[in-house]
Amino acid sequence: MRISYREAMRQALHEALANDPRVFLMGEDVGRYGGTYAVSKGFYDEFGPERIRDTPLSELGFVGAGIGAALGGMRPIVEVMTVNFSLLALDQIVNSAALLRHMSGGQVSVPLVIRMATGAGRQLAAQHSHSLENWYAHIPGIRVLAPATIADARGMLGPALADPDPVVIFEHAQLYNMEDDLRDEPNEDWACDIEHAAIRRPGSQLSLITYGGSLPKALDAAAELARDGIDVEVVDLRVLRPLDTATIAESVSRTHRAVIVDEGWRSGSLAAEVMARIVERCFYDLDAPPLRVCSEEVPIPYAKHMEDAALPQAAKIVAAVREVLNV
């Protein structure tokens, strides 16, 4: 069965709502409008306004309401329209949801899922083109996921809802129209691993490590390099907190080289954390210094040619791999 990333997310949401009366969806335009990216289209009519709740334009308010509902025994899914709007709710996410288990001595948990669109590439200029996943991956007390495949889009929500602690899911907006084949079997268990990174393409000469919207670019780069006889392994982090250091280290220990691709800005990036862990765990296995391919250190431009130049692209990834391999 061939479906889009958007439809995979929609199926996961529908399954969660249909199977558990504690689950409800809340956020801006998720109801009558069907969601900014049409992920919840038709849900308002099917499940009603009690479970598909349009909210005011107040992220601080409705994320806080989601935390309260989770504390009260519900399983809320809070949709924040785009990652830059989540900054208005940082106090609720960082100072409340992430801390309550610790601050209560383990007496309470916050089984809350927060979904948000992230990333650039759609000519939405500097205000709506952020990749701030690393900000959230920095915070103890929350799990951070970045589904980059159709299967992960379909399978991550269920385990996220089962997690007793807050889970933030970043959906790169460039992926919503992506299509791929998905298993279509009766009574399929779609739940996928939300603990470990995944090897998306085995290889022997270099580990190409990435996540989210950069995965298709990394796979394109690997395919181009393969045509020249260069065998690159592609590692999809997919779980940004806690990072699966073991899988990263195992890959780099085999290939002896690494390039990390991250749409975040270079300074203080998730790529920098991955590079640090590689050096800590695999220093004596490295045959060359690791390299990073990140967004340029500028607010993301509006003009298409400038936006493309500011972001990691397959050509930049190929050039970085060739530099590390000295070919």
Task: From the candidates 59, 79, 133, 273, give the one annotated as an active-site residue.
Answer: 59
Task: From the candidates 28, 79, 128, 273, give the one annotated as an active-site residue.
Answer: 128
- Tell me how far apart the alpha carbons of residues 298 and 99 are, in angstroms, rounded to a whole number: 33
Phi and psi, residue 175, nearest 5° = -90, -15
- Tell me how far apart the alpha carbons of residues 27 and 191 are, in angstroms, rounded to a whole number: 24
Q: Is the dihedral of CA 121, 122, 126, 128 positive or negative?
A: negative
Active-site annotation holds for 128: yes
Active-site annotation holds for 59: yes
Q: Which residues are catalytic?
A: 59, 128
